[in-house]
Structure 1
Amino acid sequence: MADLSGSVALVTGASSGIGRHLVQGLAERGAAVAGLARNGERLAAAVQEVAAATGARTLAVPADVTDRAAVEEAVTRVREELGPVDLLVNNAGLIDAAEEPLWEADPDQWWSVVESHVRGAFLLSRAVVPWMVLRNRGRVVSLASGMGLRARPEYSAYSVAKTGLVRLTEALAGALEGLDVRAFDVAPGVVDTPMTRAMPMWRGHTDWTPPELVVELVAAIAAGELDHWSGRFLRAGADDPAVLRATTPDGDARQLRLRPHGDGDPLG
């Protein structure tokens, strides 16, 4: 188990689901953990449970990740009460209201899904990363999805949002090249959460990804064990952290690229 003692983690979407598991798992590994979510009451209860179970320093910070002022205020509070953030986990995000083609989707709800993932991760990164750069220390993890690599037409907003996150991570990693600040995409697989339970496509699904594997992968990143994978896509439950530690990716492996149509493809 990675030792994160002395570090500070900030997890968005922390009141339930994968975010709640991450708060618990990072705290168990010694990190001080701040949880951020819109529902302040539910968030406070979740974070208090973690503090009672682990003895870790925790902080509940209610905020909407799409609200620039709220995000900046939240990050300032975390820094003042827990210390500079060493690990940012962009986990918050909505899902399409229904399985339907994009022309049948409600435009405002569709856009709110994209905004929650992309604007949220952008605003959190914008508020946190400059402090990481100043200290030359930090890791950013965005919760990705296989839908960001191959779109599901009935979940167009979520697919677009997750693709945007992958590009955001690559842009961030490129801008941070040469520094001890790294950015990663981690797809959690299909974890049994209220969100996945609410999605018709997972009705009757039983082969869930254990959330502990998501925590293990994120903790390995936080501990600096997978730095050579910065800017790339990892998948909990499929990627073995031990194999990742021993493997160095070549070229654009695990990054989104056009696939050439043949040897003569001018864009190959």
Structure 2
Amino acid sequence: MSEQRSIACITGASGGQGRVAVEKFVAEGYRVVAADLLPEAVERVRDEIVARVPDADILAIGLDQSSEESLREAAARVREWGGRIDALLLFAGVVQRDGVPLLSMSTEEWDRVQGVNLRGVFLACRELAPLIPAHAGGSIVTISSWWGQSGHPFYSAYCSSKAGVISLTQCLAAELADAGIRVNSVAPGNIDTEMHRAALRGEAEERGISFDEMRDIEWGKIPLKTAGPPSSIVEAAFWLASERSAYVTGATIDVNGGVKMR
């Protein structure tokens, strides 16, 4: 029975959205490859889920999405463990550490952001997508951002990396269409993860105001007046990975509380 279950490979699996994605796909009956930078973090995710769901079948692996060697090793382990991937979900990503003018940005920071967010998505698709069988309902879901749909001053590395993800998603969707493999992206707005709260804390400290004040300022800009739960992104990603979206490819789905309407 285990060999008949669909397999989802999820990067960034110990993060706020990635962990929820692992839980979602396990609950839906998938075998799951949970991959993230720190092996002990994804092993902890696996152990905690298996403790609640004894029949969960999770392969936990350390993966540096910016590294060709790491991705090749991961692909070999996945091939040995499951033989294929049915859904590839690329949640791994980083934010820019600070808002700085482009003309003042260090090459190191530019390369760090681009290396994970854009180069990493390219490498992950190149190394892992060949494990998706043709004409078997396979799907790839990338995670972009509403900040990838327009420029925001002082965050050029992040915005351009996510814009690149949207374009890469469209290119790959066209290239894999003949194989019946769909490729789509989810573009989150503000999502209530620890990464988002850390950014709010940093901005609050810089402005000399409380976290609650900073949160209210930023969430007040959102038409729905709140940051979305991680599950809002995961549900959209699951829909894109499932047969329910069988006629959707090359799309970017906005899940942002209304901060960008088009």
TM-score w.r.t. length of structure 1: 0.81
Percentage of matched positions with identical amino acids: 31
Structure 1 residue 231 corresponds to structure 2 residue 250: yes
Instruction: Give 1:25 shift.
Output: 1.1
Question: What is the aligned partner in structure 2 of residue 39 from structure 1?
Answer: 38
Question: What is the aligned partner in structure 1 of residue 74 from structure 2?
Answer: 74
For the residues of structure 2 that align with 1:52 and 1:75, how far apart are their CA atoms? 27
Instruction: Give 1:112 shift.
Output: 0.8
Question: What is the aligned partner in structure 2 of residue 245 from structure 1?
Answer: none
Instruction: Give 1:136 shift.
Output: 4.3
* Gapped regions of structure 1 (runs ≥ 5): 240-253, 255-268
Question: What is the aligned partner in structure 2 of residue 262 from structure 1?
Answer: none
- The SS at the match of 2:253 is strand
Structure 1 residue 11 corresponds to structure 2 residue 5: no
For the residues of structure 2 that align with 1:7 and 1:136, how far apart are their CA atoms? 11
Question: What is the aligned partner in structure 2 of residue 119 from structure 1?
Answer: 119
For the residues of structure 2 that align with 1:87 and 1:198, how far apart are their CA atoms? 30
Which one has a larger percent helix, Structure 1 or Structure 2? 2
For the residues of structure 1 that align with 2:189 and 2:27, how far apart are their CA atoms? 22
Instruction: Give 1:76 shift.
Output: 1.6
**Given that residues 96 and 158 in structure 2 are in contact (C-alpha distance below 8 angstroms), is that contact kept between their aligned partners in structure 1?**
yes
Instruction: Give 1:181 shift.
Output: 0.5
For the residues of structure 1 that align with 2:9 and 2:31, how far apart are their CA atoms? 9
The list of structure 1 runs, each at least 4 consecutive aligned residues, that deviate by more than 4 angstroms after superposition, is 133-136
**Given that residues 135 and 181 in structure 2 are in contact (C-alpha distance below 8 angstroms), is that contact kept between their aligned partners in structure 1?**
no
Q: Which digits, 9 at most, give the CA deviation of each residue in 1:53-88, with x for residues without a partner? A: 233100111021111111011122122113311111
- The SS at the match of 1:199 is helix
Question: What is the aligned partner in structure 2 of residue 48 from structure 1?
Answer: 47
CA RMSD for the aligned pairs? 2.1
TM-score w.r.t. length of structure 2: 0.83
Which of 225, 231, 238 in structure 2 is aligned with 1:219?
238
**Given that residues 79 and 131 in structure 2 are in contact (C-alpha distance below 8 angstroms), is that contact kept between their aligned partners in structure 1?**
no
**Given that residues 213 and 237 in structure 1 are in contact (C-alpha distance below 8 angstroms), is that contact kept between their aligned partners in structure 2?**
no
- The SS at the match of 1:85 is coil
Q: For structure 1, which segment, 27-36 or 44-53, has the greater mean C-alpha deviation from structure 2 after superposition? A: 44-53
**Given that residues 138 and 182 in structure 1 are in contact (C-alpha distance below 8 angstroms), is that contact kept between their aligned partners in structure 2?**
yes
Q: Which digits, 9 at most, give the CA deviation of each residue in 1:149-195, with x for residues without a partner? A: 01211221110110010011001001112332000011233221121
Change in Cα spacing, 1:131 to 1:137, as seen in structure 2 (3 Å) is farther
For the residues of structure 2 that align with 1:236 and 1:218, how far apart are their CA atoms? 10
Q: Which digits, 9 at most, give the CA deviation of each residue in 1:97-136, with x for residues without a partner? A: 1012122222201211011011111111111222325464
Query: What are the equivalent positions in structure 2 for 1:1-268 lying under 5 Å apart?
Result: 6-55=5-54, 56-134=56-134, 136-200=136-200, 203-204=214-215, 205-206=218-219, 207-236=226-255
Change in Cα spacing, 1:111 to 1:53, as seen in structure 2 (3 Å) is same
